[in-house]
Structure 1
Amino acid sequence: MNYRTVCFRLWIISLCLISARTVLGQDRIRLGLSSISATSGSIWVAEEKGLFKKHGANVEVIFIGGGASRVVSALLAGEIQFSVGGGDAVIRAAMRGGDSVLVFSPMNRGLQRLIVRPEIRTPAELKGKRVSITRFGSAGHLAFQLFVRKWGMRPEDFQIVQLEASPAMLANLEKGGTEGAVLTMPSFFVAEERGYRTLADPAEMDIYYLQNSVDTTRSYLKANRAQAIRFGKGLIEGVAYFKKYKKESLEVLQKKLRIQSAQEKDVKYLDASYNLLAAKYYNPTLYANPKAVETSLEFIVATEPKARGADAKSFVDESVIREIEASGFIKSLYEGEYR
């Protein structure tokens, strides 16, 4: 083999390597999380157990933080291809002319609970008192407004305090800084165990809102439909795997929540969180609940008048899920009925 032949072959190999890197870079899907909590368990399972890769999706799950509005901003800026957060943010962005759209909904309802001091037994007894939430505009804030509306009261009837995170809210409740707190798991398990009372639970009040929607842009879907299908299969199988394999899923939760509070790392509370998600909250099909979308629109009206009378379906693209379901993929994961 002469020198010219060797050089030519090396040149061909170099071109192939460069092309492969370019394709991988283009095909990479960045999925941004607005927070770190057990509610992202099915997504982490899909990542850790290679379910995205199994379906040909090169997915990088990253933590962005700052709430749903921030991840949707990153989505619209092209920094990520999919975002995970409270669904009202993606609807607000669309109302303002953004290209955002809700595609998947891993959870079929919200799971915040309003926890109060033991001596408070009714909403009337909480009126005028201090209630903590993470921040204004958060899923917890929306949940509290829904509770209040269900009671025929107004948010102005209470003193709302922002305390950033459920563990901090529980600590403040115990110190007497507030009389109520809108907590997520596992903090509400801890509170109930310590004798605090659950005054409101969406699951018991027929209340629906978008806890964790997975969103993208319409332009991305149009240009990368095959990628979105592969990504969607990974997400859907992540939910199925989470429901079926408790031990392995708990191991993933322990790994991913290692930097979180002691409450979240406690195996007893992780186990309770898993049971609740697997049995009651995770949605096998990932279709968004129309009631949840309508709820978001009702509350957006206050700041986005155009939301009044808007069609909830216009903010959701179900075509990817419908295609996956029509192929028999979801049914194959559950070996029969799954709805």
Structure 2
Amino acid sequence: MASVITAILLVSALASTALAATKVSFPFTPISAASLPWWIAKESRYYEKYGLDVDMIYVGASPVIIQAMLGGQAGVGAGGGPPLVSNVLQGGDVVQVATTVPYAIQSLIVKPEIRTPADLVGKRIGISRLGAIPHFTLQAIVKLHNVQGINIVQTGTTTQAITSLSQGLVDGIITSAPFTFRLMKDGYRELVSPKDFRKAGIEFLIQGLVTRKSYAGKNREVIIAMIKATMEGIKQIFVNEKHAKAVLAKYTRQIDPEILDQTHKFAVDVFIKDPTVTPGSIQPIVQQSAQFNLVDAKLAGSTPLSAYYDNSYIDEIKRSGWLAELWR
């Protein structure tokens, strides 16, 4: 009888928690290692731990996430990079509230006959969408290697991009792990890698949490809960390799042990333990967005970097000692 009563109380408690959970629509991109913390948070029920009922919605490109948020379809989402900058300079109220990846992690994967950046002249390179992070990455490659005459093709989602490459519709694509490792194993060439960007000093915040200021002002506890769940997910990447690989395999549909191992090592290398947004990770995006004529250069120059982010949520988490305790 006691065990029955205990079970009833447990079910009642779980039901009560579910009823109290705040529903959150969370648009994210891409289907790659860059989204691993949120997938782990979902699979490990970290969202529920912090009182959230999160509906993760895959969106093919970061500009669409910003548009959806500005349209009121979501109050918090995954993102960063050029779409965030464009939104702020156009009067939007979406700001960065946490960083997960503060530097370029995408690669340019090309057909094996393309051996040097000079061979890109006249070639068709696939990106998800104009103005998205892959577009920005390709523009950085153009500038880095002074290559002209590349034909940009919008290929949509990662799956569509890989299909376009395999069918010969494009000569290369901008993508990231685990698909970089999968494509290289299939014989394609990694012409430009994240390491090349780091060597050249090219860095920019490409992934993290963004929110509408109007939403966050009324739902501060939701933003803090999302940051905590995200950081719990990142910790699991470092301390629970088996679980991280299992989640990665589920969401990316990659089952090759070698590729999963390479991708996990990649994730450990790129994710950071302190989600504070730094001016140094924002400034290159603003400068290069202006140089690539993605935004008004004069307006970008007169807008303070603090307009793009709000660290008050992370500061509150740090003051509570939660973040230090997480990594202890």
- The alignment's TM-score, normalised by the length of structure 1, stands at 0.80
Instruction: Report the Cα distance in structure 2 between the residues aligned to 1:38 and 1:131, rounded to whole angstroms.
Output: 22
Amino acid paired to 1:102: Q
Instruction: Report the Cα distance in structure 1 between the residues aligned to 2:273 and 2:46, rounded to whole angstroms.
Output: 15
Q: Secondary structure at the match of 2:215?
A: helix
Residue of structure 1 equivalent to 2:209: 214
Residue 265 (structure 1) shift: 4.6
Amino acid paired to 1:129: K
Residue 228 (structure 1) shift: 2.3
Which of 242, 261, 277 is the matching residue for 2:267? 277
Q: Secondary structure at the match of 2:118?
A: helix
Residue 60 (structure 1) shift: 0.8
Contact 1:29 1:58 in 2 (8 A): yes
Residue 116 (structure 1) shift: 2.8
Residue of structure 1 equivalent to 2:130: 136
Match status 1:293 vs 2:282: yes
Q: Secondary structure at the match of 2:95?
A: strand
Residue of structure 1 equivalent to 2:156: 164
> What is the CA deviation profile of residues 146-202 of structure 1, one whole-angstrom value per residue up to 9, with x for unaligned ones?
111112344xx2122232244554454455544433222222112322343322123
Residue 274 (structure 1) shift: 2.0
**Superposition pairs of residues 5-24 of structure 1, within 5 angstroms:** 24=20
Residue 46 (structure 1) shift: 1.5
Q: Between Structure 1 and Structure 2, whose CA radius of gyration is higher?
A: 1
Contact 1:111 1:184 in 2 (8 A): yes
**Superposition pairs of residues 1-339 of structure 1, within 5 angstroms:** 24=20, 27-54=22-49, 56-154=50-148, 157-174=149-166, 176-206=168-198, 207-257=202-252, 264-278=254-268, 280-301=269-290, 302-305=293-296, 306-335=299-328
Q: Secondary structure at the match of 1:28?
A: strand
CA gap of 1:29–1:183, structure 2 versus 1, over 3 A, is closer
Amino acid paired to 2:103: R
Instruction: Report the Cα distance in structure 2 between the residues aligned to 1:127 and 1:48, rounded to whole angstroms.
Output: 44
CA gap of 1:224–1:163, structure 2 versus 1, over 3 A, is closer
Instruction: Report the Cα distance in structure 2 between the residues aligned to 1:184 and 1:106, rounded to whole angstroms.
Output: 15
Instruction: Report the Cα distance in structure 1 between the residues aligned to 2:63 and 2:302, rounded to whole angstroms.
Output: 23
Contact 1:87 1:102 in 2 (8 A): no
Contact 2:20 2:51 in 1 (8 A): no
Q: Secondary structure at the match of 2:65?
A: helix
Number of matched residues?
Answer: 306
> What is the CA deviation profile of residues 91-140 of structure 1, one whole-angstrom value per residue up to 9, with x for unaligned ones?
22222212211111211222211123334332223223232222322221
Q: Secondary structure at the match of 1:105?
A: strand
Structure 1: runs of 5+ lacking an equivalent: 1-19, 259-263
CA gap of 1:118–1:101, structure 2 versus 1, over 3 A, is same
Instruction: Report the Cα distance in structure 1 between the residues aligned to 2:219 and 2:160, rounded to whole angstroms.
Output: 41
Aligned-residue sequence identity (percent) comes to 27
Instruction: Report the Cα distance in structure 1 between the residues aligned to 2:170 and 2:211, rounded to whole angstroms.
Output: 38
Q: Secondary structure at the match of 1:120?
A: coil
Instruction: Report the Cα distance in structure 2 between the residues aligned to 1:40 and 1:253, rounded to whole angstroms.
Output: 9
Residue 247 (structure 1) shift: 1.0
Q: Secondary structure at the match of 1:285?
A: coil
